[in-house]
Amino acid sequence: MAEALVRRGSDGVGRAAELARLLELVDRARVGTPPPVLIIGPPGIGKSELVDRLRARVAGEMAVVRAVAPDVGVSRPGALLERCLAAARAADGAAGPTPQDDAPPPDVSALLTSLDALDDHRPVLLVVDDLQRADPESLASLRRLVRRLHPLRVLAVLVGHDRPDDWLEPPPGDDWPEDTVRMTLPGLTVDDVADLAREVDPDVTPWTARRLHEETDGNPMYLRAVLADTDLAGRYRLGRPRPPGSLAGTLRRRLARLADAPREALEALAVMGGPTPVRVLRALTGRDTVAEDCAPLVREGLLEAQVDETDEILAYRSALVRDAVYGSVPAARRRALHRRAADHTVGAARWRHLVGSTDGPDAALADDLARAAAEEFARGGLVAAAEYLLWAAARSTDEDVRAEHLTEGVRLLVHASREGHALQHAAEIEALPDSPGRSELLGLLAFARDEVTAARDLLITARAGLDGDDPPETIARLDLELAFVHCQLGAGGPAQAAALDARGQVPAGHRLVAVADAFLAAGTAFTDGPAAALEHLAFLPAAPAQATPYELAAVTYRGVLRGLLGRLEPACADLTVVARRRHTPLAHLLGVSAQVHLIWCDYLLGEWDAARRELEGAVEAVTRHGRSVDHAALWSLSAILHAGRGELDAAGTDLRRATDLAAPADFLGPRVHLTLARAAIAQAEGRAGDVVGALGSLTPEVLEPDRARLYAGWWLPSLAESQLDTGHLEDAARTLTALERVASAGACLPVARAWLGGRLAAELGDLAGARRALEAGLALPADGGEPGWYRTRLRHTYGAVLLRAGERAAGRAALYAAADVYSRLGARPFLERCLADLDGPPDAVDVAVAVQQRWADGLTDREREVTTLVGRGWTNPEIAAELFVSTKTVEYHLRNVYGKLGLRSRRALRDRVQRA
């Protein structure tokens, strides 16, 4: 009777409206991309069952890709995305490599490519379950994926618990798409409960159904456990409801009445923790009949079965059932099963089972775990190393060793951007006796909360507590953390001293030497400028892709320093490599430095579409675990990009986000980005006086003096321009003098100086001097990369000066050339001002030039990006990889472009772009 009950329930009691809505979206997937679906609810409410009913309805019609988040304490970065990719390849009949514990996380573009291939044959149903357990990297990638599915015929259904402050609530700006369909599943209705109960007892009364509904809240799993657990006729004697128990307790009572063979199989599967081949379960239970014993459990819906090319694989349908089974296994049997399971697993799973096989402290196992942690750390597996050390702490017999493993494990969690998991151990850390390790860890946690001044003080306390008996590498590591915190505070001298101390602790050739040189260069940049700082980085390979993981901090600073000097393209080469290799040692400390400076370099190069793409990727990279100031910097840059395109509402929203996110910071660094964003918005709105007021605050008296000197090249050009716009010519002259003192080694700042020097001369009435300065700026070679933004501003000014000098044709040609770049960038405020500077009505030549040069005005931002890359000769797969979209998406945009521009071929489009 119970089997019939579960089969009937699985076939469709309740959820008719939700299933109908899902089938409507399936219809939309036959012809295009439907919105993604989030199915939300508490454990046991029937989320996975609803999806299974959907899968059954579309079987054979759609390719089904299903993945479940791994059930481990701390997931490796990208672990769920790996499962999604493996499932997509399996659905396409392509076997991929088996993921390794130390493998780098996959890129979302690989999953997009696999879904694209499946869509060639039929629509796709992508199901991702148990998202409340997903690693943050995979969650960010999935959000990126669902925003880029169009025009693929893919229905994405994402399933998870409804816990607050979890996967459902990503940071602002990285939300699920606006059209996302959210299904929050309630309990079954009283009528649904009655339908299920009558499968057990056809004479169930409405009163009994109401009592069942009250006891279980309509939770289907709870309800089925109650129905299988008891005689309904006696459950509510004398009209009094039985005191409610718990779902887990009811499940355990239900499982206790199973025969030995299926119960032992369930226990073994619970100990394994995830999908397990039948052959492994046979070995754990000593029974050859596992498949037969579990067949009724599969029919009842407790388990699910899949068959691959080698074996049948069993798994629990619900983590709640698995946990109930695991909790009911006697301790001695549970340890024995873990011992056997260790012989059938490798890597982190094997260590998990070895830990589970022990009862209390085990010094030998703790030592083995510490050695395994060291090996993982050497491979860059910070998450796994942290987990092993925390297990070692729990099994250590010596209190000092336990404290050492605990602090080191939590420290690695912080460095691996797992602050949430680290904070779970905060009480244990606080309870430790005062020690350098404790102070260091508290300092790192303060740093993660953006309390950088507090972090510095705690790290200084930790460093003072170390002596000659401490391992040199431990001392060097703390010195490096302290050096970086000093850099965050703009304190160049202390940063240099700490970096030199770290260098003196380890021998030449040690992996930390490259990190020490990186922070030595950063400190030197504050005190002596970027050119002197680069001398400390001469050891790096010329090709940044050849850098080792421990050299990436140095590559980051080389890119930053090159960018500050105006060598924009070499800077982009360095910073792009770092941005693509996020999961490396010290990635957490470095935060988004590489991305921020890469976006700024793209902005100055006039590659605003690339800057926006990098910004989107950076926001996703810091989702859920980045520091608030990292988010603040990125949203400030987003506000700048929006302002440049005249998208003022979006710019204002992003600035407010950035301001809120920067509020917890106890240092002045975030002020620079916020001020630049405020100035950019004021500039776009034509409020030159407000630009002067904002940028005028970025002085050595307000900021840290070293920081103000190092980054002055970021804001002095805009300050001088706005001073000229407001008629404050003497102030502009002083700002230009300050700009002359800013170190440069490329064309960027010289072009800016020529532009602003020419403008100043024109404002003073010296049109000949203005023309000479501007023409000299136009003639400057593009050393270090073409500074497209400043060169365009210069050309705009040049055209206006020529018109004032009476050279109408040349002046209008220069203005139209500037207008073309503004149009390509989507820089509407600057385009409008440029066109306003044209003197008089356009003549026939003007019209022809305008039509040719402003060809992109009717295109969307994405169509313009695709078109620009076609003009550079890129193929569709290359464009798809660059934009993180599918090739079908590229084809879709190209069809729209052909229609809008009246073109019929790719060659015609490429010629149009190149002529413009």
| pLDDT score at 647 | 93
Candidates 609, 539, 545, 612; CA nearest to 574 is 545
For residue range 740-765, list pLDDT tens digits in order.
Answer: 999 999 999 999 999 999 999 999 99
Distance CA 521, CA 535 (A): 8
| pLDDT score at 232 | 60
| pLDDT score at 847 | 43
* Burial zone of 203 (CB within 10 Å; 0-12 exposed, 13-18 middle, 19+ buried): exposed
Alpha helices by DSSP H, 217-362: 220-229, 232-235, 247-256, 260-272, 278-285, 290-300, 319-328, 331-342, 347-356
* Burial zone of 238 (CB within 10 Å; 0-12 exposed, 13-18 middle, 19+ buried): exposed
Judged against a pLDDT cut of 60, whether residue 438 lies above it is answered with: yes
Q: Which helix (H) or strand (E) holds 128?
A: strand 124-129
pLDDT band at 74 (very low <50, low <70, confident <90, very high): low
- pLDDT more than 90, % of the chain: 51
Judged against a pLDDT cut of 90, whether residue 127 lies above it is answered with: yes
Distance CA 463, CA 454 (A): 14
- Average pLDDT of span 58-70: 91
Residue found by looking up tokens 């413009």 in the block:
916
- What radius of gyration do the chain's Cα atoms show? 32
Q: Report helix, strand or coil for 149.
A: coil
φ, ψ for residue 540 (rounded to 5)? -70, 150
Distance CA 833, CA 851 (A): 18
The yes/no answer on whether domain 12-184 falls in CATH 3.40.640.10 is: no
Q: Report helix, strand or coil for 171.
A: coil
Judged against a pLDDT cut of 50, whether residue 249 lies above it is answered with: yes
Q: What CATH class does 257-354 carry?
A: mainly alpha
| pLDDT score at 44 | 84
The 3-state secondary structure of 691-737 reads HHHHHCCCCCCCCCHHHHHHHHHHCHHHHHHHHHHCCCHHHHHHHHH
| pLDDT score at 498 | 97
User: In this predicted structure, which of 139-143, 444-448, 477-481, 622-626 has the lowest mean pLDDT?
Assistant: 622-626
- Average pLDDT of span 506-529: 94
User: In this predicted structure, which of 31-35, 513-517, 872-876 has the lowest mean pLDDT?
Assistant: 872-876
Judged against a pLDDT cut of 80, whether residue 370 lies above it is answered with: yes
pLDDT band at 1 (very low <50, low <70, confident <90, very high): very low
pLDDT band at 10 (very low <50, low <70, confident <90, very high): very low
pLDDT band at 8 (very low <50, low <70, confident <90, very high): very low
- Average pLDDT of span 652-661: 93
| pLDDT score at 844 | 43
Q: Facing residues of 160 across strands?
A: 40
- Average pLDDT of span 421-448: 87
For residue range 553-565, list pLDDT tens digits in order.
Answer: 999 999 999 999 9
Judged against a pLDDT cut of 60, whether residue 850 lies above it is answered with: no
| Buried-exposed string 27-37: b where 16+ CB fall within 10 A, e elsewhere | eebeeebbbbb
Strands 124-129 and 63-68: parallel
pLDDT band at 538 (very low <50, low <70, confident <90, very high): very high
Q: What CATH class does 613-853 carry?
A: mainly alpha
| pLDDT score at 105 | 61
Judged against a pLDDT cut of 90, whether residue 848 lies above it is answered with: no
Domain boundaries, the chain: 12-184, 190-245, 257-354, 540-612, 613-853, 861-915
| Buried-exposed string 693-714: b where 16+ CB fall within 10 A, e elsewhere | ebbbebeeeebbebbbbbbbbb
- Average pLDDT of span 484-505: 94
For residue range 199-247, list pLDDT tens digits in order.
Answer: 777 877 888 888 888 888 888 888 877 776 656 655 555 444 454 556 6
| pLDDT score at 104 | 57
Distance CA 38, CA 507 (A): 54
- Which has more confidence, 475 or 74? 475
- Average pLDDT of span 540-563: 93
For residue range 881-901, list pLDDT tens digits in order.
Answer: 777 788 888 888 888 888 888
- Which has more confidence, 868 or 621? 868
| pLDDT score at 472 | 93
Locate 824 and state its tokens. Answer: 């390509």
pLDDT band at 623 (very low <50, low <70, confident <90, very high): low
861-915 CATH fold: Arc Repressor Mutant, subunit A (1.10.10)
| pLDDT score at 644 | 96
Residue found by looking up tokens 């740093």 in the block:
447
- Which has more confidence, 252 or 801? 801
* Burial zone of 846 (CB within 10 Å; 0-12 exposed, 13-18 middle, 19+ buried): middle
Distance CA 433, CA 406 (A): 13
- Average pLDDT of span 810-823: 93
Distance CA 643, CA 845 (A): 32
Intra-chain end-to-end CA distance of the chain, in Å: 76
| pLDDT score at 446 | 87
Same fold, 613-853 and 861-915: no
| pLDDT score at 4 | 37
| pLDDT score at 5 | 36
For residue range 340-356, list pLDDT tens digits in order.
Answer: 999 999 888 899 999 99
Strand order from edge to edge, sheet including 276-277: 276-277, 312-316, 303-307
Strand order from edge to edge, sheet including 181-184: 63-68, 124-129, 154-160, 37-40, 181-184
Locate 570 and state its tokens. Answer: 């070499």
Distance CA 603, CA 825 (A): 10
User: In this predicted structure, which of 155-159, 703-707, 780-784 has the lowest mean pLDDT?
Assistant: 703-707
| Chain mean pLDDT for the chain | 86
Judged against a pLDDT cut of 90, whether residue 98 lies above it is answered with: no
| pLDDT score at 445 | 85
**Could you tell me where the beta strands, DSSP code E, fall in 131-251?**
154-160, 181-184
pLDDT band at 733 (very low <50, low <70, confident <90, very high): very high
